[in-house]
Amino acid sequence: MTGARPRVAPEPGLPERITVYEVGPRDGLQNEATTVPTAIKAEFVRRLLGAGLGVVEVTSFVRPDRVPQLADATELLAALGPVGASSVLLRAGSLPPPGSAARLPVLVPNERGLERALAAGVTEVAVFASVTESFARRNLGRSVAESLAGYAAVVERARAAGLRVRGYASMCFGDPWEGEVALDAVVDVGARLLAMGCEELSLGDTIGVATPGHVTALLGAFGAAGIGVERLAVHFHDTYGQALANTLAALRAGVTTVDASAGGLGGCPFARSATGNLATEDLVWMLDGLGVETGVDLGALVTTSAWLSGVLGRPSPSRVVRALS
């Protein structure tokens, strides 16, 4: 059934094309119980690029004792060779032009992580901040204010080195320790990340509790603060089965960058209620049906996720992968 395709029925008002920001190699594999060999990770990245994904977040330069699954960041980039050391700097929300190099960002938690990333030859990085104090303490070991102050130095140095910088804001829709999160708290942290030099801000539903109306309200709050959707991306987890509905709400509001993870891999090792990410295949199936261009070959992507499921020894949670393979 790998040749199956949805019927195309465009919805007026949606973006003509979007950027799928693939996070499987980083956000997906970081939550695996066992460490995936470097060679398999490199093959995974190459297969994702071969399926037409123009942005693939490959790893994170975190402390090995904190996230041992990503301890091989330097080795992975070396294994990828020239592909891993050459990414094009594109305006947020754009797709790579034909023939361009892929964008291969990495996550950096601090200045030491940035140093390692620069030594590895990367040209695009991301920083990860929490909106809530509870998660900031558990994930980053610092308060929200302390973590943002630390990231300001990281972003300044990265920009000075010519790198493109993305900001992640986590716990934007709910926190397992604090419950509901105020819209203005999310806007405050997001605005500070953008003000320090992040070119794009990804709004994370870390524990998957968002609903479409909540998404619309948060995007509207950013708009009221003078921050347009062209600078925003969305990052949904599918804990309650709402990720696709939430994505459609974001698209209707004009968002053109959507984070997703091949095969629905992922979660967060520091928030046990965070289950898998929005599956890239499920996202592409919906977008293909809506006539929204992504540049992704769905068949090749399904084949890639089916292959990785075999490596991991368990079926993919993606409904499209299971239906087509």
pLDDT the model gives residue 239 = 92
pLDDT the model gives residue 81 = 82
| Rounded-to-integer distance, Cα 25 and Cα 41, Å | 7
The dihedral through the CA atoms of 86, 37, 32, 150 has a sign that is negative
Sorted by where each starts, the structural domains of the chain and their CATH numbers stand as: 19-324 (3.20.20.70)
Q: Which two tokens stand for residue 7?
A: 């019927």
Q: Residues with catalytic annotation? A: 268
Question: What are the φ/ψ torsions at residue 97 (nearest 5 degrees)?
Answer: -65, 155
pLDDT the model gives residue 97 = 42
pLDDT the model gives residue 3 = 66
Closest by Cα among 54, 123, 270 to 114: 123
pLDDT the model gives residue 325 = 85
**DSSP 8-state code for residue 203:** E
Range from 44-53, 61-70, 243-252 carrying the lowest mean pLDDT: 61-70
Across 77-139, the runs of DSSP E, i.e. the strands, are 106-107, 124-130
Question: What are the φ/ψ torsions at residue 160 (nearest 5 degrees)?
Answer: -65, -30
Percent of the chain with pLDDT over 90: 82
Q: What integer is the mean pLDDT of 42-67?
A: 94
Q: Which amino acid is at 150?
A: G
Q: Is the pLDDT of residue 82 over 80?
A: no
pLDDT digits (tens, 9 = 90+) for 149-159: 999 999 999 99
| Rounded-to-integer distance, Cα 105 and Cα 223, Å | 27
| Rounded-to-integer distance, Cα 210 and Cα 237, Å | 9
Q: What integer is the mean pLDDT of 296-308?
A: 97
Question: What are the φ/ψ torsions at residue 102 (nearest 5 degrees)?
Answer: -75, 155
State the pTM of this model.
Answer: 0.92
Closest by Cα among 229, 310, 228, 295 to 263: 310
pLDDT the model gives residue 45 = 96
pLDDT the model gives residue 33 = 83
Residues 6+ apart with CB under 8 A from 140: 109, 128, 129, 130, 147
pLDDT digits (tens, 9 = 90+) for 266-296: 755 444 544 689 999 999 999 999 999 999 9
pLDDT the model gives residue 64 = 87
| Rounded-to-integer distance, Cα 200 and Cα 257, Å | 9
| Rounded-to-integer distance, Cα 180 and Cα 209, Å | 10
| Rounded-to-integer distance, Cα 215 and Cα 86, Å | 34
Specify whether the CB–CB gap between 138 and 170 falls below 8 A.
Answer: no
Ranked by mean pLDDT, which of 63-77, 89-103, 182-196, 306-320 comes out on top?
A: 182-196
CA separation, residue 9 to residues 31, 254, 284, 291, 303 (Å): 36, 18, 14, 7, 25
pLDDT the model gives residue 312 = 92
pLDDT digits (tens, 9 = 90+) for 16-33: 999 999 999 999 998 888
Q: Is the pLDDT of residue 217 over 60?
A: yes
Q: What integer is the mean pLDDT of 207-229?
A: 97
As to burial, measured by CB atoms within 10 angstroms (0-12 exposed, 13-18 middle, 19+ buried), residue 157 is middle
Q: What integer is the mean pLDDT of 89-94?
A: 30
Q: How would residue 2 be classed by pLDDT, with cut points 50, 70 and 90?
A: low
Q: Is the pLDDT of residue 96 over 70?
A: no
Question: What are the φ/ψ torsions at residue 66 (nearest 5 degrees)?
Answer: -85, -45
